[in-house]
Amino acid sequence: MIYKLLHTSRLTAALLLTAVILFPSCSTMRQAPADETTDVTERQAIDIVEKARGVSENDKIKSTALLVEATRQKLLGNYDEATVLYHDATTADPGNDAAHYELSRIHALAGDYDTALEYVYNAATLDPSNRQYQMLLADIYMLQEKIHMTIQIYEELLGNHPDDIEIYYQLVATYLYNQQYEEALKGLDRMESVFGFSDEISIQRQKILVNLGRFGEAIPEAEKLISNYPGEAAYYELLGELYMEAGQLDKAKAIYLELLEINPHNHMAHLLLADYYSQTDNFNKALEHLLMAFRSPELGIEGKARIIFTYLRLAEEDESFLGQAKQLADMLIETHPGNPESYLVYADIMHMADRIEEARDMYLKGAQMDPSSLQVWQQILSLDLRLSDYEAMLTHADMALEYFFEQPILFLFHGLSNLQLKDYDAAASSLEYGLSLIVDNEDLKQDFLTMLGDTYHYLEAYQLSDQYYDKALQLNPANATALNNFAYHLALRGEDLEKALRMAEKAVQADPENAAFLDTYGWVYYQMGNYHEAERWIGKALNLPDDQSAAILEHYGDVMYKLGRKEEAIRYWEKANQAGEGSDLLHKKIEDRTLYE
């Protein structure tokens, strides 16, 4: 059940400017219960009345002129000046009730409720028949949490104006605010006895009864609502939800079917039936009604997307819901083909299903329709990376940079794609520029520095490469990727192998299940001539469940050769050749059955 009690009261200072104007009345001044503050305020008000009796006509005219100018200044937004002028008006004529009232409103808006109370009390004492003054007085008491005073004012106003529906509403709202639900129900009963049955009164009564858990009373009220308004679909929905909340599922279903007879295309009826079937574990039937609801243009794309994401959450526990989410996403695209959100939702489903290429393509379609989301472009590039589709990554990074040229993360992807495509000059250019854009993001800066170390290694600018690795490690000495890559490239060059060994060891300690790190550690040992340790660590890399890379297989073959196990070496070189890209010497090693370095 969706019902919640909504306290519709005029209890914010911001509303005080307008709310009191909406309900003009005439009423006698209420007698407040004994209260020290009230006593002081009442004595001050009586004193004001006494002073007003001796004011001359000239002073009254002067006071009126000041009131007019004060109001003009208030309308211009000059509240400080207006306040002074209103105060001068009450000084010239203490009986100027309008000036007291305006001062009360200004102080109430400023949050000074005590002063506001003094001024409105003066105004109400000077003119007890002015309902604006009484209503503002009630508001200020409410703001001071003097609920009983507010209620007393409304009750006395109703005593004089029993046919004023707005005062009834204010009284009921006050009871609700004070959690006096039985009194609020009585207030609604009084309203109905005066004004007759109305949907507003009935709905508010239902909300209160539901909040009290009294479904046995709320349901007949909802049934009465349908009897009085038989063509109003929303009231069928309310009754159906009440039945659902009360556990009367069959009655809820009957109401929803009746609603469909009235309007076969009512999407809400289909949604409610889907909810019914879900609660009765008939998920296929629930999906059937959801698909019918999705055909309706009246159900907006945001609502449809929320439903689909609910299915995605269910799919985390039960994969069967993933297929249903896809059917809903298909319908989403069918009914909203021009909205990029349709394709992004579909992409999320494909991503969750691990259908990476389809997900990437759908994100791209959405991004092409609305290229304004950096997050979507990052998702596309991340999926390009998972697919190892570096040509697509370069294209998509270029597309994204047309809209987000100052975003360094896009230059990181751009540089990475060029690095993988072996366009090292272009990679260096992208990465250098992207690095210059970074502000207050140390993690991203480390990524750029490490990748620049890689790039300049391949450009054989070894000194510059080492400098970038050093900068990355100065930012974070535990950066495992920088440690590993620096160590590996030193090993390839046969330089500073003790340093390389220390860095490789730290990388392995940080991530002992990383095959690339284990291979680097072993390869440093290989370059140092310690082939048994090389076999140990590269062998660990090969024993991991990850796909075995050509580089690791070839390295292990080299180690086997050094250990005099030539046939094993050749077998691993052949595996490396089958796995993909090995070194430039791999084919020659296999062909000549000998090691080349």
Which of 135-144, 390-399, 459-468, 525-534 is predicted with the least confidence, judged by mean pLDDT?
Answer: 135-144
- 177-220 pLDDT per residue, tens: 999 999 999 999 998 888 888 888 888 898 898 888 888 888 88
In the prediction, which pLDDT does 29 show?
34
Tokens of 110: 């400023």
In the prediction, which pLDDT does 2 show?
27
Q: Domain extents for the chain? A: 1-55+94-195, 449-592
Residue 36, Cβ density class (10 Å: 0-12 exposed, 13-18 middle, ≥19 buried):
exposed
Higher pLDDT, 477 or 246: 477
Averaged over 433-438, what is the pLDDT?
96
CA dist 347 → 330, 332, 391, 403, 474 (Å): 11, 12, 21, 21, 40
Given pLDDT bands bounded at 50, 70 and 90, which one contains residue 314? confident
> Residue 457 in contact with residue 421, Cβ under 8 Å?
no
Pick the CATH number of 449-592 from 3.40.50.410, 1.25.40.10, 1.10.540.10, 3.40.1390.10: 1.25.40.10
In the prediction, which pLDDT does 5 show?
28
Best CA proximity match to 414, nearest among 402, 431, 436: 431
Other CB atoms within 10 A of residue 592 CB: 10
Q: What are phi and psi of 112, to 5 degrees?
A: -95, 80
Pick the CATH number of 1-55+94-195 from 3.30.1510.10, 1.25.40.10, 1.10.150.120, 3.40.50.300: 1.25.40.10
Q: Supply the DSSP symbol for 321.
A: H
In the prediction, which pLDDT does 262 show?
77
DSSP string for residues in 20-49: HHHS----PPP-PPS-HHHHHHHHHHHHHH
Higher pLDDT, 425 or 129: 425
Higher pLDDT, 486 or 159: 486
Percent pLDDT > 90 in the chain is 56
In the prediction, which pLDDT does 277 show?
84
First to last CA, the chain: 74
Percent pLDDT > 70 in the chain is 93
The answer on pLDDT for 278 being more than 90 is: no
449-592: same fold as 1-55+94-195?
yes
Angle of helix 340-352 relative to helix 356-369, nearest 10 degrees, comes to: 160
Tokens of 332: 């989403």
Given pLDDT bands bounded at 50, 70 and 90, which one contains residue 163? confident
* Highest mean predicted confidence (pLDDT) among 2-6, 168-172, 193-197, 532-536: 532-536
The rounded mean pLDDT for the chain is 87
Tokens of 203: 């709905």
The answer on pLDDT for 8 being more than 60 is: no
